[in-house]
Amino acid sequence: MSETIFSKIINREIPADIVHEDELCLAFRDVNPQAPIHILVIPKKPIARIIDACDEDQSLLGHLYLVANKIAREEGVEDAFRLVVNNGEGVGQSVFHLHVHILAGRAFTWPPG
């Protein structure tokens, strides 16, 4: 997988407002927030899209969601937050390093646009 802006954040080549880091993942505030709370959780392993994940990534994917839960609790939004994964340009993926969006702090409609 080619280098992305997110691998540069992992490698501290560019700054980010990091809210969580462990051996498997990093979470930081989105630079262009779409809600009062907008945080991205990314694996350190370079997986381009969720569709590119394989069987060996099973526990890693679960870890990303458990970290998202932890962050939602820390942010005080555990009762109302949305997790989004965009897969592919056709649905708006713009950075090809897997990321889970945590969005909260405003009203959300369903279905999403």
Q: Interface with ligand AMP by CB under 6 A: which residues?
A: 5, 16, 28, 30-32, 40, 86, 92-95
Surface-to-core class of residue 99, CB atoms within 10 Å of its CB (0-12 exposed, 13-18 middle, 19+ buried): buried
Catalytic residue among 38, 63, 97, 99: 99
Closest distance of CB 59 from ligand AMP, Å: 23
Distance CA 94, CA 88 (A): 8
16/71 with CB nearer ligand AMP: 16
Annotation says 101 is catalytic: no
Coil, strand or helix: which one is 60?
A: helix
Catalytic site positions: 99
